[in-house]
Amino acid sequence: MPDGHTIILRSDYTRMQAHRLIEQAPQGAVLNIRAARRTVDQNALMWALLSEISRAKPEGRTLTPDVWKSLFLHALDHSQRFEMALDGKGMVPVGFRSSRLSKEQFSALIDTIHEYAARHGIVLSDELAA
């Protein structure tokens, strides 16, 4: 049995494939079932929104999209740890990454970005197309 199978449970057929692989798995094999992660489209939308908020400089805050992302993740209780930079000049975020978010968690992140933008009078381009 080859190593490293990934199956997305989209149909009865793929569920049957997963069952077959479990039946064939050797003793001690590891099974990892998790919710689907964020999509490429969700990720692209997040970076576009973060860039727009960064350019809008709400409340005079001149922050990079990366910093805005950390702030929004923190607002959803996906907090990150910070460690001192190697040169001792500043702090570096470590730990939680948005790529680990499920589709639902990522949707909540995008909703939080939209809510913040609305509260601060920032019209986002994806809202103009709607």
Give the pLDDT confidence score for residue 64 in this predicted structure. Answer: 92
Long-range contacts: 123-129, Cβ < 8 Å, 24+?
124/49, 124/52, 124/53, 125/48, 125/52, 126/45, 126/48, 126/49
Number of domains in the chain: 2
Instruction: Say how many C-beta atoms besides its own lie within 10 A of residue 50's C-beta.
Output: 21
Structural domain of residue 96, as residue ranges? 40-128
pLDDT per residue as tens, the chain (130 positions): 456 788 888 899 999 999 999 999 999 999 888 888 888 899 999 999 999 999 999 999 999 998 899 889 888 887 677 788 888 898 877 766 788 888 899 999 999 999 999 999 999 987 665 5
C-alpha–C-alpha distance, residues 14 and 6, integer Å:
10
The CATH code of the domain that includes 106 is 1.10.3790.10
Sequence-ordered alpha helix ranges (H) in 6-130 = 12-24, 40-56, 65-75, 103-119, 125-128
Domain match, 17 and 73 both: no
Domain match, 54 and 23 both: no
Give the pLDDT confidence score for residue 39 in this predicted structure. Answer: 86
